[in-house]
Amino acid sequence: MSGMVNYDDTISSSVTSNELGIVLCKYCSSMIGTLPTNGFKKLYGVCDSEECQGENRKGNGYER
Ligand SMILES: [Zn+2]
């Protein structure tokens, strides 16, 4: 334990290279954000646009 590595610095400096996970809106395909993941990952979510939020509500409310 020499304390030569500051944990916070380690995180912030490695975040950019580790942000391989991308979150896309499943309706308009716009990129919502990135996630620090191990390896490339594509995730789908819903962006903040009213259209997509509406679509999402419709989709969830659709009777199965
Ligand atoms: Zn969208």
Number of domains in the chain: 1
pLDDT of residue 9: 57
Summarised one tens digit per residue, pLDDT across range 13-56 is 445 556 789 999 999 999 999 988 888 899 999 999 999 999 99
pLDDT of residue 29: 96
Find the 48 Cα to ligand 1 centroid distance in Å. Answer: 7
The answer to the question of residue 2 being in a domain is no
pLDDT of residue 61: 60
The answer to the question of residue 16 being in a domain is yes
Instruction: Judge whether 44 and 23 are in contact, CB under 8 Å.
Output: yes
The answer to the question of residue 22 being in a domain is yes
Please report, for residues 10, 37, 44, 55, 59, the alpha-carbon distance to residue 52 in angstroms, rounded to integers and kept in the order given. 36, 25, 12, 5, 10
The answer to the question of residue 1 being in a domain is no
Find the 15 Cα to ligand 1 centroid distance in Å. Answer: 25
Domain membership of residue 50 as a residue range: 7-61
